[in-house]
Structure 1
Amino acid sequence: MEVTEAIQKRRSIRKYQNRKVDNDRLDRVLEAARLAPSAKNLQEWRFVVVRDEGRRKRLAEAAKGQTFVGDAPVVIAACATVTDYVMTCGQLTYPIDLAIAVEHMVLQAAEEGLGTCWIGAFYEEEVKKVLNIPPQVRVVALLPLGYPDESPASRPRKEMDEIVAFESWK
């Protein structure tokens, strides 16, 4: 699959088949995150892979009761270990760097025939308790991963001229 095709086919999946994700596919998804760029090459990430059903169900509860999170055969918690580095532009690096790494996983998952759904609606402290994450580490996203059991239609996108300006804002 070409990158463009993965981008076009990717959907937020909220219904998963009751089917395990094999280690080779999971390894390729995680490798995509490992290869992601980061500011100053900090690679300030750590990914907690959760396959245990009981722990996945507890993560679903921490994700505001979104049961599909626990129904996925794998949930990946994307965490930041360095949270105080600020780029010259004034932005913290960790949310940006983790977003890049998670999106690399999302696109690789599409290549592997797997579905994902980026989860930002969760109670971080509850997730930390479930996964024994230290207080200084930030949980940036949860990523359920599995074989889709649905095929959602694409959502409307703005036209290019609504989101792009050349040379100046206008």
Structure 2
Amino acid sequence: MELDEAITKRTSVRYFRDEPIGEETIKTLVEAAVRAPTASGLENWLFVVFQSEEARRKVFDLIAEGMVEYYRAVNLPEDKIGKLKRRLYEEGMYRAPAYIAVFIDRRVRFLKGEQFDEVEFIWSVESAAMAIENLMLKAVELGLGTVYIGVTNFKGIEEKVLQLAGLDENHYLVGLIPVGYPKDEPKPRKRRKGVEDVVVFL
């Protein structure tokens, strides 16, 4: 598969087949991820794979909790939140055979001193985000689907993800990625904005 095809085909997949993913396949995804640029060459990322039935159930419940909080934050009525819950618990939206949580270790940094705290944090998050994109593109090549989950960063939820991962507050969750074989044929959506809307030449 050419890179252009992988980029074009990548889309958010929210429904997955109940088919396990082998450990070697997961490692292949992470191998692609760690080829991403990393600020100051620190490689201060960590990939925690939730694959056991119990771990996946707990992660799924945290995603569901975050999605409900997200819907309430944008003032959606309770009947729509009820529909969301049905999609989650009855239709299995976001229920995947594996979840890959991508963390950064705040203690691993290049520049010392409080004046660099913010920029070091930003660089680390950017590095992990680029790793996530590599992982997602590799998943397309392997016929897998992925989706980026950000709602697990809500206060009270991220702490539970950290606890499940066996990590402390020195780590920050950059993203949680459900991974699996798509239940239906993925249909990438056209972007609302074209190149001419988002690029400036000076």
Q: Same fold (TM over 0.5)?
A: yes
Residues 1:102 and 2:126 are matched in the alignment: no
Aligned counterpart, 2:75: none
Residues 1:114 and 2:138 are matched in the alignment: no
> 1:14-66: per-residue Cα shift (whole Å, max 9, x none)?
11011111233222101011211111111110000111111111112222346
The structure that has the greater radius of gyration is 2
Where in structure 1 are there 5+ consecutive unaligned residues? none
TM-score by length of 1: 0.88
Asked if the contact 1:79–1:137 (Cα under 8 Å) also holds between the matched residues in 2, the reply is yes
Greater shift after overlay, 83-92 or 60-69?
A: 83-92
After TM superposition, the runs of 4+ consecutive aligned structure 1 residues lying more than 3 A away are 64-69, 83-91
- Which structure has more helix as a fraction of its residues? 2
Where in structure 2 are there 5+ consecutive unaligned residues? 68-87
Task: Give SS of 1:140's match.
Answer: strand
- Matched residues in 1 for 2:117 and 2:134: separation? 22
Aligned counterpart, 1:28: 28
Aligned length: 166
- Matched residues in 2 for 1:128 and 1:90: separation? 21
Q: Relative contact order, CA 8 A, sep 6+: which one is greater?
A: 2
TM-score by length of 2: 0.75
Task: Give SS of 1:113's match.
Answer: coil
Q: Which amino acid aligns with 2:22?
A: D
> 1:96-140: per-residue Cα shift (whole Å, max 9, x none)?
011000110000000110000011111211211222211211111
- Matched residues in 2 for 1:133 and 1:150: separation? 35
Identity across matched positions, percent: 32
**After the TM superposition, which residues 138-153 of structure 1 pair with which residues of structure 2 at under 5 Å, given as runs?**
138-153=172-187
